[in-house]
Structure 1
Amino acid sequence: MFTGLIEEIGTVLKLEQFSSRPDAVITVKAETVSQDARPGDSIAVSGVCLTVVELLPDGSFTADVMPETIERSTLSGFVAGTQVNLERAMRADARLGGHIVQGHVDAVATLARRIPGTRWDDLYFTVDPALTRYIAEKGSISIDGTSLTVTEVTREGFGVSIIPTTSEATTIGALAPGDRVNIEVDVLAKYVERALSARVDGLLDEAQDHYQPKHLKAEGAIR
């Protein structure tokens, strides 16, 4: 579990993909998050929760990347030198300064436009319309692992505004129109939808059973 507050910008040293199998191994250079890391720890790499496999003497770490992650995120496009946002898993006794981020990427979005402001930038992203039902104005969203507040929602996408601190401390500051990012919507929205859907399905089943003709009920009981 993460908060969406980026601790540092790391650098991809290598992404090793195999011709004989669909997974990969990534090596990331990190000065801060690797200091107290141990094999088995979770680190969010641009919003993707990865498990540390090995810590190297130069302060980098390696992690396995599953096919599902490669298919659903921007990670497959990482090359040596790619800058990534890094965050260690949150501590139970720490402040939750951002929002609950699982590190489970829902989809990839594309930056459509960036409008510079006096002390902030307005960014608008396009995303699969099926995902916008989970996005709410003034709600939270994770963009490349960064917790941000949604400023607008349309059928095709959503907007956010970033302050200078966010621009300087994360890779979002360097984004240009056409760039792709990892998106994770607020997990609470997905659980609410799932609960309501299950409730509706249950009510429909009850209604169907209630109005089923008696002779059909009897036949069903005999069978």
Structure 2
Amino acid sequence: MFTGLVEATGRLCRRVSVEGAAVVTIEAPFAADLAEGDSVSTAGVCLSVTSHTAQTFTADVMPETLAVTTLASLPEGTRVNLERALAANGRLGGHLVQGHVDGIGVVTACRPGPRWDEVDITCDVDVARYIAYKGSIAIDGVSLTVSAVTDNGFTVSLIPTTLEATTLGEIGVGTRVNLETDVMARYAERLTRAPKETEQ
């Protein structure tokens, strides 16, 4: 479990295809402190560490993850947001983020402002249905509040700290980003659609 508060940024050093899956090597400032099996949110995708050095860690990426995230298309050298899993005694400063990406969004507009930037993102309607006005959304692993919604997209506001400390300061029109909706919305839908138990 993560919070969507980016701990650091790193870089995708290498991606090697392996029978429809991939092995990625990520440069991370905290790589030396990792252990095999640790979870690291990488551009919003939960990856499990398989090995590490003082500067990098390696993880396997399954075919499903490659299909629904940007990890299959990011050029080597791309900067990525990183966050280690939340410790049990840590502060939940963002919102509950699983690192289970729902789909890819595309930036359609960026409007710079004096105090924050507004960004419009479109996405598949099957993802948009779970996005609510003033609800939470994770974009490339960054916890944000939704400021407007449409049938096939939404708007977020990015403050200077977010623009400086994460990769969202580098996005522009046409940029593809990983989206994770609020897990509570998915559970709520599942519960309301579940058949009612009949009395025995």
TM-score, normalisation: structure 2: 0.96
Contact between 1:26 and 1:62, CA under 8 Å: does it hold in 2? yes
Corresponding residue of 1:218: none
Within 5 Å, which residues of 2 pair with 1:204-215? Answer: none
Within 5 Å, which residues of 2 pair with 1:20-59? Answer: 21-32=19-30, 34-57=31-54, 59=55
Corresponding residue of 1:214: none
Contact between 1:10 and 1:86, CA under 8 Å: does it hold in 2? yes
Corresponding residue of 1:209: none
Corresponding residue of 1:166: 162
Contact between 1:166 and 1:173, CA under 8 Å: does it hold in 2? yes
Within 5 Å, which residues of 2 pair with 1:88-167? Answer: 88-167=84-163
Candidates 185, 188, 195, aligned match of 2:191: 195
SS at match of 2:65: helix
Q: CA deviation at 1:189?
A: 0.3
What is the CA deviation profile of residues 166-205 of structure 1, one whole-angstrom value per residue up to 9, with x for unaligned ones?
000000000000000000000000000100111xx328xx
CA distance in 1, matches of 2:190, 2:3: 23
Counterpart AA for 2:17: Q
Identity within the alignment, % = 51
Counterpart AA for 2:108: A
Contact between 2:32 and 2:53, CA under 8 Å: does it hold in 1? no
Q: CA deviation at 1:119?
A: 1.3
What is the CA deviation profile of residues 51-85 of structure 1, one whole-angstrom value per residue up to 9, with x for unaligned ones?
0001124x100000000100010000122211100
CA distance in 2, matches of 1:109, 1:79: 18
Give the gaps of 5 or more residues in structure 2: none
Runs of 4+ in 1 over 2 A off after TM superposition: none
Higher helix fraction (1 or 2): 1
Give the gaps of 5 or more residues in structure 1: 207-223
Higher strand fraction (1 or 2): 2
CA distance in 1, matches of 2:51, 2:74: 19
What count of residue pairs does the alignment treat as equivalent? 199
> Is residue 2:177 matched to residue 1:181?
yes
Q: CA deviation at 1:106?
A: 0.2
CA distance in 2, matches of 1:121, 1:42: 31
What is the CA deviation profile of residues 122-153 of structure 1, one whole-angstrom value per residue up to 9, with x for unaligned ones?
00000001222211111100000000000000
What is the CA deviation profile of residues 22-50 of structure 1, one whole-angstrom value per residue up to 9, with x for unaligned ones?
01000011113x24210100000000000
CA-based RMSD: 1.3
TM-score, normalisation: structure 1: 0.87
What is the CA deviation profile of residues 94-136 of structure 1, one whole-angstrom value per residue up to 9, with x for unaligned ones?
1100000000000000000000000110000000012222111
> Is residue 2:54 matched to residue 1:74?
no
